[in-house]
Copies of this chain bind each other. A is one copy, B any other.
Amino acid sequence: MVKKLGLLTSGGDCPGLNAVIRAVVRRSLTDYGAEVVGILRGWRGLMDGLMQPLNHDAVSGILPRGGTILRTSRTNPFVHERGAERILENVRRAGLEAVIAVGGDDTMGVAYRLYREYGLPVVGVPKTIDNDVVGTDFTFGFDTTVNIAMEAIDRIHTTAESHDRVVVVEVMGRDTGWIALYAGLAGGADMIIVPERPVSVQEVCDLIRHRHDRGKDFSIVVVAEGARLILHDGREVQALQEDEYDEFGHGRRGGIGETLGREIEAETGYETRVTVLGHVQRGGTPSAFDRILGTRFGIAAADFVQQGKFGHMVAIRGDTIVAVDLAQVAGKLKTVTDDYYNLARPFFG
């Protein structure tokens, strides 16, 4: 029976983090009588020994709040001198018998190495608004992001329609197009472009012209920031270079939307506007889906700790919580499949 465990959040802001924290604390205290220590600012805090106890009061009222009460950072202990060693020392010093690490695929990678190479008893909880972690059907944060983007597209619809315009809406998604696909489907986009499949400007313009021929004088195109476009001369372009994404994997500036908008206007002659949703997509109060998924993940992580399922990540498949070996997660991405992309096709044009 684990009587004392640590909990940290790492990586980018993601609605539902506080739900996880609250659930870990409530489950551990109430059902296992185990003490939870909050580690501040991710792996950095574990290297530096920044900790504070988490009791009922500390997690009271945090469920509807965005952000994470434990703060976050993107520190990788393996690039710091004696990073892993300092972590182990602090874990021992604080008397932690296990650590729960909430984060994206980088965090899962660090957790895996600490478990395998250093024997740290660690449980992972996947977290990304991009929904691209392998091994789990969904991650919390994604549903909130999709709803925010959908509401933006709803608003843009009335303006596009009143003004007879093409509007390009650029959403997050460097390597995978889940946000673009879901937000585009929910917002009724006339075309959706994801990083997984390059699209030619020609194809997009044909589709917009086809709509005009049917009497629809406006069109909405949703494009992921990492999407690739094929220009008229056959060149494939991507707006951002690797080093233009920040440490949380999101673009430092908009890009492909601007390019696409310019090409559409040049080719079709229709007035085109570009909206880059940006950081609005990743913060704020979580949706019900994300609060519940975060809560389920938190409960499961607390259970895994007591069951000794270390070296594993909590995940959801269908309706069931499962344990996924961290070895199968690190360094991989879940991309948009044909089946999913084809869901959107009947609504193009």
Binding site for B on A (CB under 8 A): 12-13, 23, 26-27, 30-31, 56-57, 60-61, 63-68, 71-72, 137, 143, 146-148, 150-152, 154-163, 167, 182-183, 185-188, 214-216, 246, 248, 252-254, 258, 271, 273-280, 282-285, 287-289, 291-292, 295-296, 299, 317-319, 343, 345-347
Contact = CB atoms under 8 A, between A and B. Distances in A.
A152 B280 contact: yes
B185 A346 contact: no
Contacts of A319: 137, 318
Contact of A188 (B13, B63, B137, B284): B63
B23 A346 contact: yes
A27 B348 CA distance: 11
17 contacts: A12-B162, A23-B346, A60-B216, A61-B188, A63-B186, A64-B157, A137-B318, A146-B288, A147-B288, A148-B155, A160-B279, A253-B274, A273-B279, A275-B279, A275-B280, A276-B276, A317-B318
Contact of A284 (B66, B155, B271, B299): B155
Given A275-B279, A280-B155, A346 B27 contact: yes
B284 A185 contact: no
Given A258-B253, A279-B167, A346 B30 contact: yes
Within the oligomer, what is the number of copies of this chain?
A: 4
Contacts of A299: 343, 346
A60 B143 CA distance: 25
Contacts of A275: 276, 278-280
Contacts of A271: 246
B26 A147 contact: no
Contacts of A289: 143, 289
Given A252-B273, A284-B154, A292 B137 contact: no
A246 B12 CA distance: 36
Contacts of A274: 253, 278
A214 B57 CA distance: 9
Nearest to A262: B253
A182 B13 contact: no
A66 B155 contact: yes
Contacts of A296: 343
Given A60-B216, A160-B279, 11 more contacts: A12-B162, A13-B162, A66-B157, A147-B288, A150-B291, A152-B280, A154-B283, A156-B280, A182-B288, A246-B271, A274-B278
